[in-house]
Structure 1
Amino acid sequence: MINIWRLTKIQLLSSFGLNKALHTLDVKERRKAILLSSSILAGVLMIAVVSFGYSFMMAMTFEQMGRMDLLLAIMMAVTSIVGFFTTIYKASGVLFSYKDYDLVMSLPIKTSHVVASRVLQLYVLNLFFTLIVMLPAGVVYAIKVNPETLFYLLFLMTLLFIPLLPIIAATIIGSFISWVSSRFKASRMISLVLTFVVIIALMVGSFGLNGNEQVLADMGTELADMIFKLYPLADMYVDAVCSYRMSSFLLFIALSVLSFMIFATVLGTRYKAIHTGLTTSHASSKYIMKPLEASSPFRALYKKELRRYFSSSIYVLNTSIGMILLLVMSIALLFVSSEKLGELIEIPQLSHYLSTLAPMIVSLFVTLSCTTSSSISLEGNHLWILKSSPISKQTILLSKVAVNLTITLPVLVVSSMLLMISLRPGWIESLLLLVIPLIYACYSAMMGVIVNLKLPNLEWTSEVTVIKQSAAVIVSMFIGVISLLIPLGISLLLTHVNGNLILIGIGMIMIAVCLVMFRYIQTKGERLFRTI
């Protein structure tokens, strides 16, 4: 058991760069770690406050219906579904695709202990999100219902078991996708396509499950049935926590723990075989000599960076899912008018809000699709090759920016055109709908490079650590969201001012910020790159 704990602790510390921060003697590194920790804490508090506000608004409706149990049912189902989606493409990287596999497996430690530590790492990461969402919902429920003391005990105990089944299901599906794709030559592309198909199909299915207008309008037993049909464990959870039924409480825990133990045991016994099957790739038996092509340094670096991007399914999924969702939303609005959607979710002025705030909404998807915030860290122990190459470091950094724009701009232009068709805005609004997100795309790409220069992580063992959990990714995402929330709040407060004038002002400010960042990359960016 002590080996499992040690391995899990080391993996978690290295995942967030805490190990280096705790033991470094460099004052600048310590100051940077304190600043980063403060930023992460502020982000967590902000998410918790938003979660509390969202839960409180839902509770007001459920209180009138006399169905406060729906609050915990919905939030529990949401945490499970979100955890399931994110674990699908994260599980394979955490469990199997890590660089120090040979080193770890050569240690005098049982394979089952290694497997248990990797599974526990997934569990802790999912539990963290569960706590952020469920604790505020539990506080709101307690304020509105004033339950018995037993509620608090059952609520806190069940929190520990909510992530278990989503982890198992997501790991099985993610591993199956990786195994199927590894049977073919174009394994990475097939893996990407299959994962996107599964995620989009599950999302469409969850929204379409009994999601007719009558169900959403009634908001009563039909809604509860929809939730419990989508995720049966939510029914057990509600019976255990809200109705104090010990039989449901024990059954919920037993199903979660037994399933998790069986999964971990089976995985432990077949771990090496599964790892071999997932990491085996097929190569072409024919090699044809072709003439060598010469190109400019920027173009060569751009091609290299693009190949590196598409070589990692986790990298592609984590940075392009936002753009895929934007495209899906844009296509969906062609078939469901904004007026009908507003009636469906009981927001009569939704059409007006969409027309006015569409550029900011689209920009949000763009800022969540930043590839550059981890592009330097992903060089890992090969970064010395770029640092020693006779190429200006500005060219290296701008090639990474170019790849980010290559991923976002085509989808952005297509989605904006589709939104123009469905929302039917005026010519000024249409221009802003296209220009504002384009500016934010440039801003996000350059901001990601600068943050990654400030917060590099070159000592990773799994790509998941850099792509999803590194300090640079968290900070760049936080800055990107803040850069949108501030102008969005200004737009909502200054309702008496023409929205187009506000968007034009925001666009001009962001252009100035982009120019400053471009100049920073040209000057200090090169110096920072050399000192990494």
Structure 2
Amino acid sequence: MINIWRLTKIQLLSSFGLNKALHTKDVKERRKSLLLSIGILAGVLMIAAASFGYSFMMALALEQMGRMDLLLAIMMAVTSLVGFFTTVYKASGVLFSYRDYDLVMSLPIKTSHVVASRMLQLYVLNLFFSVMVMLPAGMVYAIKVNPGALFYLFFLITLFFIQLLPIIAATIIGSCISWISSRFKASRIISLVLTFAVMIALMVGSFGMNENGQALADMGTGLAEMVFKLYPLAAVYVDAVCSYRMSSLLLFIALSVLSFMIFATVLGTRYKAIHTGLTTSHASGKYIMKPLEASSPFRALYKKELRRYFSSSIYVLNTSMGMILLLVMSIALLFVSPEKLGERIEIPQFSRYLSTLAPIIVSLFVTLSCTTSSAISLEGKHLWILQSSPVSKQSILLSKVAVNLTITLPIVVVSGVLLMISLRMGWTESLLLLVIPSIYACYSAMMGVIINLKLPNLEWTSEVAVVKQSAAILVSMFTGIISLLFPLGTSLLLPHVNGKLMMSGVGMIMIAVCIAMFRYIQTKGEQLVQKL
């Protein structure tokens, strides 16, 4: 057990850059780490506050139905599903595709201990999200129901076991996708297509379960059946936590722990063979000599960055899933009118709100699809090549910005046109729907580069640590969300304000911010790159 704990601790410290922050003697680095810790804590509190508010509003509706137990069931199922979705495309990277595999496997440690430490790393990462979502939901339930002392004990115990089964399922699916794709020449493209197909199919399937009109006749019963059908373990969880049934508690813990232990043991026995199978790629065809093509430095850098982007499945999945969901949502609205959707979710004037806030909603997906916030860090130990290359460092940074815009702008245009049709917008609204998200795409891309220059992580062993867990990713995400809070809050709190005028003002402000960031990259880019 001591070896498992030591490996897990080292992996977690290196993943979040805590090891360097704890032992550095540089005053600037310590100050940066302190500010970053404060920012992360503020972000965690914001997520917890949002979860509390959402749970409280849901509790008001469930209280009228007399089904407050569904609050914990729904939040537990949502937490499990979100953990499952996020683990599908990072499980293979954490378990198998890490850079120091040879070093770790050469240590005098059992293979099963290495597997267990990797599984625990996934568990701890998902546990953070469970705590941020489930604790506020538990507080709301306690306020509304005033349960007995056993509730608090059972709730805290089960909190540590919620993510075990989703991790196992996600790891199996993610590994199968990686194995199937590795059998073909275009392994990365096939892996991306399969992962996107699985995740979209699961989302569509979960949404489609709400189409049973007969079940909705009794809202409380229908909602319970939907949740328990979507995730059967939620029923066991509710019996344990809300009804204080010891048998359900023991069953919930036994199913989670035994499944986790059996999976880790079986995986440990076949770990090396599975790693070989997943990391073995199909040999390319016979090389054919072709004439060399010459291009400008910027174009060459752009092509290099684009190849680097599509060479990493975790990079593509983490930064393009938002845009794919935006496209799916835009297509879905062609078949479900906003009026019917508003009636279904019982939000009056939903169509008007959607038309007004459409640029903000699209911009949210754009800011969550930033590729540049990890582009510098992914250079890793090869950064010296760019630093010593005879090209301007501004061109290097702007080539990364161009790749971000290549990923976001085409989908913004296509989704914008689809939304114009489904929402039946006028010319002014249509123009704002295209312009505002495009401005935010430029803002997000340049902001991501600047943040990554300030908060680089060049000593990673797994791309997952850079793409999903780095400080630059978190700061960039929260910066993008905060930039959208003002127009969103103004639209909701001051509905009498002219929406078109407000969006135009937001667009002008963001254009000024983008120009300022572009000038900063032009003047400080060389210095910032050389200081890395």
Instruction: Using structure 2 for the length normalisation, give the TM-score.
Output: 0.99
Supply the distance in 1 between the matched residues of 2:142 and 2:495 (Cα, whole angstroms).
36
Q: For residue 138 of structure 2, what is the aligned residue in structure 1?
A: 138
Q: Which amino acid aligns with 1:337?
A: S
Q: For residue 343 of structure 1, what is the aligned residue in structure 2?
A: 343
Deviation per CA, 1:418-462, whole angstroms, max 9, x where unpaired? 000000111111100010000000000000000000000000000
Q: For residue 9 of structure 2, what is the aligned residue in structure 1?
A: 9
Q: For residue 413 of structure 2, what is the aligned residue in structure 1?
A: 413
Per-residue deviation, 1:245: 1.0
Deviation per CA, 1:444-483, whole angstroms, max 9, x where unpaired? 0000000000000000000000000000000000000000
Supply the distance in 2 between the matched residues of 1:218 and 1:301 (Cα, whole angstroms).
60
Supply the distance in 2 between the matched residues of 1:506 and 1:215 (Cα, whole angstroms).
44
Per-residue deviation, 1:226: 1.0
Per-residue deviation, 1:111: 0.8
Q: For residue 460 of structure 1, what is the aligned residue in structure 2?
A: 460
Measured at CA, do residues 359 and 215 of structure 1 come closer, stay the same or move farther in structure 2, by a change above 3 Å?
Answer: farther
Q: For residue 368 of structure 1, what is the aligned residue in structure 2?
A: 368
Which residues of 2 match residues 292-331 of structure 1 at below 5 A?
Answer: 292-331=292-331
Supply the distance in 1 between the matched residues of 2:2 and 2:312 (Cα, whole angstroms).
33
Per-residue deviation, 1:218: 3.6
Q: Which amino acid aligns with 1:81?
A: L
Measured at CA, do residues 484 and 213 of structure 1 come closer, stay the same or move farther in structure 2, by a change above 3 Å?
Answer: farther
Supply the distance in 2 between the matched residues of 1:452 and 1:213 (Cα, whole angstroms).
49
Supply the distance in 2 between the matched residues of 1:112 and 1:247 (Cα, whole angstroms).
31
* Mapped pair 1:48 → 2:52: no
Q: For residue 114 of structure 1, what is the aligned residue in structure 2?
A: 114
* Mapped pair 1:92 → 2:92: yes
Q: For residue 160 of structure 1, what is the aligned residue in structure 2?
A: 160
Q: Which runs of 5+ in 1 are unaligned?
A: none
Supply the distance in 2 between the matched residues of 1:215 and 1:299 (Cα, whole angstroms).
57
Which residues of 2 match residues 507-522 of structure 1 at below 5 A?
Answer: 507-522=507-522
Q: For residue 492 of structure 1, what is the aligned residue in structure 2?
A: 492
Q: SS of the counterpart of 2:211?
A: coil
Q: For residue 147 of structure 1, what is the aligned residue in structure 2?
A: 147
* Mapped pair 1:275 → 2:271: no
Q: SS of the counterpart of 2:382?
A: helix
CA contact 1:76–1:234 (8 Å) conserved in 2: yes
Supply the distance in 2 between the matched residues of 1:475 and 1:91 (Cα, whole angstroms).
23
Supply the distance in 1 between the matched residues of 2:479 and 2:42 (Cα, whole angstroms).
12
Count matched residues.
532
* Mapped pair 1:388 → 2:388: yes
Q: Which amino acid aligns with 1:127?
A: L
Q: Which amino acid aligns with 1:306?
A: L
Supply the distance in 2 between the matched residues of 1:184 and 1:286 (Cα, whole angstroms).
16
Q: SS of the counterpart of 1:147?
A: coil
Supply the distance in 1 between the matched residues of 2:394 and 2:148 (Cα, whole angstroms).
63
Q: Which amino acid aligns with 1:276?
A: T
Measured at CA, do residues 526 and 215 of structure 1 come closer, stay the same or move farther in structure 2, by a change above 3 Å?
Answer: farther
Supply the distance in 2 between the matched residues of 1:350 and 1:487 (Cα, whole angstroms).
18
Measured at CA, do residues 54 and 217 of structure 1 come closer, stay the same or move farther in structure 2, by a change above 3 Å?
Answer: farther
Deviation per CA, 1:127-160, whole angstroms, max 9, x where unpaired? 1100100000000000000001011000000001
Per-residue deviation, 1:217: 6.2
Supply the distance in 2 between the matched residues of 1:217 and 1:356 (Cα, whole angstroms).
32
Q: SS of the counterpart of 1:4?
A: helix
Per-residue deviation, 1:493: 2.5
Deviation per CA, 1:265-317, whole angstroms, max 9, x where unpaired? 00111100000000000112411111111110000000000000000000000
Deviation per CA, 1:9-45, whole angstroms, max 9, x where unpaired? 1110111111100000000000000010000000000
Supply the distance in 1 between the matched residues of 2:213 and 2:265 (Cα, whole angstroms).
45
Q: SS of the counterpart of 1:289?
A: coil
Supply the distance in 2 between the matched residues of 1:528 and 1:288 (Cα, whole angstroms).
40
CA contact 1:342–1:348 (8 Å) conserved in 2: yes
CA contact 1:213–1:344 (8 Å) conserved in 2: no
Per-residue deviation, 1:490: 1.9
Per-residue deviation, 1:212: 3.5
Q: Which amino acid aligns with 1:192?
A: L
Q: Which amino acid aligns with 1:268?
A: G
CA contact 1:216–1:344 (8 Å) conserved in 2: no
Q: For residue 208 of structure 2, what is the aligned residue in structure 1?
A: 208
Supply the distance in 2 between the matched residues of 1:438 and 1:260 (Cα, whole angstroms).
45
CA contact 1:11–1:121 (8 Å) conserved in 2: yes
Supply the distance in 1 between the matched residues of 2:483 and 2:455 (Cα, whole angstroms).
19
CA contact 1:79–1:130 (8 Å) conserved in 2: yes
Supply the distance in 2 between the matched residues of 1:514 and 1:200 (Cα, whole angstroms).
33
Supply the distance in 2 between the matched residues of 1:204 and 1:308 (Cα, whole angstroms).
31
Supply the distance in 1 between the matched residues of 2:104 and 2:217 (Cα, whole angstroms).
55
Q: Which runs of 5+ in 2 are unaligned?
A: none
Supply the distance in 1 between the matched residues of 2:210 and 2:525 (Cα, whole angstroms).
53
Supply the distance in 1 between the matched residues of 2:379 and 2:269 (Cα, whole angstroms).
34
Deviation per CA, 1:200-227, whole angstroms, max 9, x where unpaired? 0000000111433554564211110111
Supply the distance in 1 between the matched residues of 2:520 and 2:294 (Cα, whole angstroms).
30
CA contact 1:467–1:473 (8 Å) conserved in 2: yes
Supply the distance in 2 between the matched residues of 1:300 and 1:477 (Cα, whole angstroms).
29
Percent of pairs with identical residues: 85
Per-residue deviation, 1:110: 1.0
Supply the distance in 1 between the matched residues of 2:279 and 2:142 (Cα, whole angstroms).
48
Q: For residue 428 of structure 2, what is the aligned residue in structure 1?
A: 428
* Mapped pair 1:480 → 2:472: no
Supply the distance in 1 between the matched residues of 2:18 and 2:357 (Cα, whole angstroms).
39
Q: SS of the counterpart of 1:67?
A: coil
Per-residue deviation, 1:393: 0.1
Which stretch shows the higher mean deviation, 224-233 or 196-205?
A: 224-233
Over aligned residue pairs, what C-alpha RMSD do you find? 0.8
Supply the distance in 2 between the matched residues of 1:131 and 1:497 (Cα, whole angstroms).
38
Q: For residue 221 of structure 1, what is the aligned residue in structure 2?
A: 221
CA contact 1:182–1:278 (8 Å) conserved in 2: yes
CA contact 1:334–1:421 (8 Å) conserved in 2: yes
Supply the distance in 2 between the matched residues of 1:253 and 1:162 (Cα, whole angstroms).
9
Q: For residue 247 of structure 2, what is the aligned residue in structure 1?
A: 247
Q: For residue 399 of structure 2, what is the aligned residue in structure 1?
A: 399
* Mapped pair 1:188 → 2:188: yes
Supply the distance in 2 between the matched residues of 1:217 and 1:378 (Cα, whole angstroms).
53
Q: For residue 24 of structure 2, what is the aligned residue in structure 1?
A: 24
Measured at CA, do residues 217 and 340 of structure 1 come closer, stay the same or move farther in structure 2, by a change above 3 Å?
Answer: farther
Supply the distance in 2 between the matched residues of 1:475 and 1:245 (Cα, whole angstroms).
43
Supply the distance in 2 between the matched residues of 1:374 and 1:510 (Cα, whole angstroms).
22
Supply the distance in 1 between the matched residues of 2:214 and 2:229 (Cα, whole angstroms).
17
Q: SS of the counterpart of 1:497?
A: coil
